[in-house]
Amino acid sequence: MAAALALTGSLVACSTTSDGPAASGSGSGAGASGASETPRVDPVRLDTSFADPTSVPIDRPVTVRTSGGTLADVEVTSAAGTLTGKVSDGTWTSSTLLEPGTDYTITADATRSDGQSVQRTRSFHTVDLTLDEQTFAAVAPLNGETVGVGMPVIVTFDLPVTDKALFEKHMRVTSTPAQKGSWYWLNDREAHFRPATYWRAGTEVSVDLDINSLPAGNGIYGQESREVSFNIGDAHVYKVNAQTHQMQVFSNGKLLRTLPITTGKPGFVTRSGTKVIIEKFAKKRMNSETVGINRNSPEAYDIDDVRWAMRVTYSGEFIHAAPWSVGSQGYANVSHGCTGMSTADAGWLYAMSRRGDVVEYTGTDRQMTLENGYGDWNLSPADWKTGSALS
């Protein structure tokens, strides 16, 4: 923090035009016998924590003190709002960080040595930052969204955060009922939060990212604080067994139905592990070139109206209607990695499902990975905690 410098210049008191000595009394004149002199009153000046009022840093507190008087109260205002803070031991210290490229005005009330109340003002301007110097945090789920019990909190930054520990200290997740959890940084731009086990059905979750103007490292600062609240719906857990070719559909622990399905054939084996529904499409085009199968391959396909598709991996695994494989569903694995079922069954499942619902796959020797979708639940709680910048 820059050394506090006294801000000099003509400063006008509330009720007087000068803090200098009061005029001598009238009567016999300056040299008359018995005349008394008025005690000297020192001027009240403001001392602040910044040296250059035209380019004040945003990542440190502002402090205000007075010389020649006792500080009573301080208000720091701008078009962005009032800066919060409090006076302690004669010094006012801000408790929130500043906005970049913003004009602020300090208004300080003090008591002069002669007991008179005076007011001082001072203006300053914070450093100007470009968008290339500010990182914005996108948050999932959306505010007000209802999601499944497997949905992690996902924060994605558009510029890298190298001081992850500092940011994580300002990234808070609370829930009702309370469930302990922790953050896991996948990389410099993406952090996930999850509890030790699936969220409880009916939980209310709040996310508070207090990162505005927080230094992210390498000259980058948080662009905006974010607050998001969302709800956890019914506990939907779907258990897929690639060996028995069946999906068991559970809601709040109760088995609703067992559906015949087909999964990936040799060469396109479906991944085992815990997956989470990422997004839903009532109708979606599926083209094999998007998953690396050349259009001239005998395995190529291009279907423009696949119904009731729900993505479970970034690499292209979906749960969807597959009327072309109904004869194999419940008996054999014939897909290119997706989980196929009849159109009626897929429509029923699609209608009850939401983002964040859990799909647990068993029966194959190909494992799901952390980064391939919402793969968070494939780590144990102990391993998950190691991904925290504060661990």
**Planar angle of CA 117, 122, 127, nearest 5 degrees:** 150
Q: Sorting pLDDT into bands at 50, 70 and 90, what band is 111?
A: very high
Write down the pTM of the prediction.
Answer: 0.85
What is the pLDDT at residue 35? 52
Mean pLDDT of 87-107: 95
- Cβ burial, residue 161 (10 Å; 0-12/13-18/19+): buried
What is the pLDDT at residue 332? 98
Q: Is 14 a catalytic residue?
A: no
* pLDDT exceeds cutoff 60 at 30: no
Q: Which has more pLDDT, 295 or 333?
A: 333
Are the C-beta atoms of 275 and 313 separated by less than 8 Å?
yes
- Cβ burial, residue 291 (10 Å; 0-12/13-18/19+): middle
CA 51/CA 197 separation, integer angstroms: 51
* pLDDT exceeds cutoff 80 at 26: no
* pLDDT exceeds cutoff 70 at 237: yes
Q: Which domains does the chain have, with CATH numbers?
A: 5-125 (2.60.40.3780), 131-233 (2.60.40.3710), 236-381 (2.40.440.10)
Are the C-beta atoms of 13 and 119 separated by less than 8 Å?
yes
Most confident of 12-21, 87-96, 182-191: 182-191
Q: Which of 28-32, 87-91, 154-158, 287-291 is least confident?
A: 28-32
CA 355/CA 284 separation, integer angstroms: 17
CA 375/CA 184 separation, integer angstroms: 12
Are the C-beta atoms of 224 and 212 separated by less than 8 Å?
yes
CA 302/CA 295 separation, integer angstroms: 9
Q: Which of 32-36, 191-195, 249-253, 286-290 is least confident?
A: 32-36
* pLDDT exceeds cutoff 90 at 13: no
Catalytic residue among 192, 236, 245, 338: 338
Mean pLDDT of 318-347: 97
Q: Sorting pLDDT into bands at 50, 70 and 90, what band is 306?
A: very high
Mean model confidence pLDDT for the chain: 90
Two tokens at 320?
Answer: 């969807």
DSSP reduced 3-state for 234: coil
Are the C-beta atoms of 69 and 44 separated by less than 8 Å?
yes
φ, ψ of residue 10 to 5 degrees: the values are -75, 115
Mean pLDDT of 47-54: 94
* pLDDT exceeds cutoff 90 at 27: no
What is the pLDDT at residue 291? 87
Catalytic residue among 192, 245, 320, 336: 320
CA 292/CA 154 separation, integer angstroms: 27
* pLDDT exceeds cutoff 80 at 18: no
What is the pLDDT at residue 38? 63
Q: Which has more pLDDT, 18 or 303?
A: 303
Looking at residue 182, its amino acid is S
Q: Is 245 a catalytic residue?
A: no
E-strand spans in 252-372?
254-260, 273-276, 279-287, 302-311, 318-321, 339-341, 358-362
Q: Which has more pLDDT, 51 or 363?
A: 363
* pLDDT exceeds cutoff 90 at 23: no
Q: Sorting pLDDT into bands at 50, 70 and 90, what band is 113?
A: confident
Burial 174-191 (b: 16+ CB within 10 A, else e): ebeeebebbbbbeebeeb
Q: Which of 21-25, 90-94, 193-197, 322-326 is least confident?
A: 21-25
